[in-house]
Structure 1
């Protein structure tokens, strides 16, 4: 059984050999993760020697290097029965090598697998020799995903960029998160994510950051200061959808889901907090009121368990030291307003830059802001208290006009979340006022 590597480190493949190569099996994507995939070939449930050539393929995947090492040792005898159960397993029974059959193995596997893809290389049934592993001969090329892979190359040709650089080409991104943010050294990817969101050409998205696993440590976090990022703690426990076992995962995916849900149900002006964290069964440890009091002023948004109210996201702050941008919803509201006004005023380009145009721009922007105010996103009992729009000779000089610039000044008064509810109680004696 030979092992081949395709295109340096593009895929990991194992030809399955009978009398010649029958099929080639490859991981669906590049990287060393493919070496944690096991293939187990066996007789199909409906296999009848001499009657048909049906076979069965089980594809198993372990996400952890330690458990996969144990599985490989036990699987050396082509048996995984005593190994740690895989994180993901795909079973394809009654596969046929007949291309005209409805259960042709290539179609069944390639249409259904999230782990591998197969390429027919010959005819007939593969040998049912038990378990083998995908492996790659990478030579001097290290396929391990690293910091530069996440960063990508912004100088690459458009459409060929990878990593975070590829997201620079997408204008509709509003939330960015890296699930395994701390797998490559604490806070290394965090810095890359924040730098991405703060690029002058972007500034239209926020980063959902997450703490390393375990109790909160200030090391690394103290250096964070950005109005385009929010930080969440601690990790959460879920039921693994493939195995049903409890699993500890970073909170970023759940937080991004809360952002999206809150945006849909209430709008971006609503702080994405005091929301149930769906899919979480428990927390690895409790975050107390004392913990919250210490962490909240630092910009750490906690996930907490409340009796009778479930597990909730309890915090909506950015990691910015600027009090003007303390809250996530304020930052995202301004992004929403900026983008909306930019898109709704594209018609202005190449129009005559005169008083008539300025009046039309003022009206367009004011109409939009009035809608935002009526939705409850802005302070004030009247529009005049909620926003103002200026576009006249007080915002532009003659030089600006001569150089084709139309400058609009907009001011808005955003609503901010009620983080702390204070009740003042005092003892009052009935009839004391009349004494």
Structure 2
């Protein structure tokens, strides 16, 4: 397959193969509307171009493609993307190949690779050249869909045309009839022009977003979550209910942070403060500790004009960039956002104070620095769960401890198992201490691991092992307290004490 780029030039690319890395804390997951691509199925991408290859180029219909682009432009390296859409139909066209020798069927269906209206009006040009002195019969196919780079497939044996087009990003050919009967040779050349029609889609509702929330929870790799189109698709109580459902899903995992956007209809400082207040009233501090709000939206370049987009995608990219530069235990603030040219709303000083007091992390435009993230707090008001740096250090430790302890789940409760568990957890905490994430001049001052008769008395369930962990963050914050429970029947459970 080739993708037309410039006259006389073509671009080809192969995705870089790499496996999932659950220990990373810089991987994001985006849930929202996209131009095309599989519905409800998480797809892992490692660049903006890879995301566009699967989900199409960014347009004006939704914010998620721009958020994904902002993530990668700000230093993000890996993202999962889940396309969320309401009931949708797939564009298609019928190709009557006729009784031409060599084809696998007399009729084919040309079907868009994914549901939605994106392929409507797409043109498929098919050229067949019969056997000549130059060689056997061949088929060439050219696919042009509005807003997409054209695709050209050439020199295809007729019997293999459906198989070869599985490489297309845009269409599939499906045999839909019997094989042609043997007959006399046909014309030297034939051509067909098809138009794709019938693609439909509807905006996603709460059921579709709920399914996407459940799908992201099954992914072990993401540590950052964004829903850029949620504020457009759901409003009022439906929006609040979905956010709370997401936080309830994420909270038990103890390994990811949700970055929320203020719904676009709430443009004033008063309405944004009221919205965060409604969230705070509906959830407790433990639930709110999984979420952070960054505001206001950004203005980004878009051809000959600028476009307003939610800030969460760019902020997630900044967090990922600072994660690589400083580590997850540093506050992701006082850093410049890239690929944004202005703020959608400029709040006066008194309104900024009110927003900050409501738990909103402001993005400010500073002379000489550009757009800068100010504030690194979650929506929680409790000192132990208020700061993003504290939560992300916890997420890092939980991910590493899970990996170290998981192989011991099915071992028999014994002094040897407890010693092995303490060693595994201690190795994780030592690595964090040496990286500067934990306080203290010595490791003994930075953390403590207890797995003995004190928390595993002789009369306790012999198939259950408890390990208590305390760690002191390098930046003065509340201690991190974690309890690990290994059960032969229940697996590995991580509880924040």
- Calculate the TM-score normalised by the size of structure 2: 0.60
Once residues 224 and 262 of structure 1 are traced to their aligned partners in structure 2, the CA distance between those partners, rounded to angstroms, is: 28
Q: Residue 369 of structure 1 aligns to a residue in which SS?
A: helix
Cα 1:151–1:384 change in 2 (3 A) is same
Count matched residues: 350
Query: Structure 1 residue 413: deviation in Å?
Result: 1.8
Q: Name 1:204's counterpart in structure 2.
A: 255
Q: Give the structure 1 partner of residue 483 of structure 2.
A: none
374, 387, 408: which one aligns with 1:348: 408
1:112-156 Cα offsets, whole Å, 9 max, x none, are: 64x55566889943359xxx77334x8xxx85432101212xxxx
Answer whether contact 1:18 1:127 (CA < 8 A) is retained.
no
Cα deviation digits, residues 212-270 of structure 1 (max 9, x gap): 22344234332224111111111112223xx4642221112112212222222221111
8 Å Cα contact 1:237-1:284 kept in structure 2: yes
The equivalent residue for 1:135 is 198
70, 90, 95: which one pairs with 2:149? 90
Where 1:279 maps in the other structure, the secondary structure is: coil
Give 1:207 shift.
Answer: 1.2
Contact 1:236 1:251 (C-alpha < 8 Å) held by counterparts: yes
Alignment of structure 1 residues 80-229 onto 2, 5 Å: 88-91=147-150, 99-100=156-157, 111=167, 113=169, 124-127=190-193, 134-136=197-199, 143-152=202-211, 163-186=212-235, 188-189=238-239, 191-199=241-249, 202-213=253-264, 214-216=267-269, 217-218=271-272, 219-225=274-280, 226-229=288-291
Q: Does residue 1:338 correspond to 2:398, yes or no?
A: yes
**Contact preservation (8 Å) 2:331, 2:376:** yes
Corresponding residue number in structure 1 for 2:13: none
Distance 1:314 1:105 in 2: 56
The whole-number CA distance in structure 2 between the counterparts of 1:42 and 1:13 is 14
Secondary structure at the aligned position of 2:121 is classed as strand
Q: Given the alignment of the two structures, is residue 28 of structure 1 paired with residue 113 of structure 2, yes or no?
A: yes
> Closer, same or farther in 2 for the Cα pair 1:105/1:410, shift >3 Å?
same
Query: In the alignment, what sits opposite 2:145?
Result: 59
Distance 1:376 1:210, change over 3 A: same
Q: Say which is worse superposed, 199-208 or 104-113, in terms of deviation.
A: 104-113
> 1:197 touches 1:206 (CA, 8 Å); kept in 2?
no
Whether the 8 Å CA contact 1:327–1:416 is kept in 2: the answer is no
Q: What is the distance in 1 between the residues matched to 2:386 and 2:91?
A: 47
For 1:283-302, what per-residue CA distance to the aligned partner results, in whole angstroms no more than 9, with x for missing partners? 22334544432222322112
Deviations 1:50-86, CA, capped at 9 Å, x for gaps: xxx99976422xxxxxxxxxxxxxxxxxxxxxxxxxx
Within-5 A mapping of 1:400-419: 400=460, 402-416=461-475
Is residue 286 of structure 1 aligned with residue 346 of structure 2? yes
TM-score (normalizing by structure 1): 0.67
- Assess, with a 3 A threshold, how the Cα gap between structure 1 residues 222 and 109 changes in structure 2: closer, same or farther: farther
Find the aligned partners of 2:345 and 2:165 in 1 and give their Cα distance.
41
Considering only aligned residues, what root-mean-square deviation do their CA atoms show, in Å? 3.9
1:385 is displaced (CA, Å) by: 3.1
Aligned to 1:235: 297
2:488 is aligned to: none
Identify if the C-alpha distance between structure 1 residues 116 and 329 changes in structure 2 by more than 3 Å, giving closer, same or farther: farther
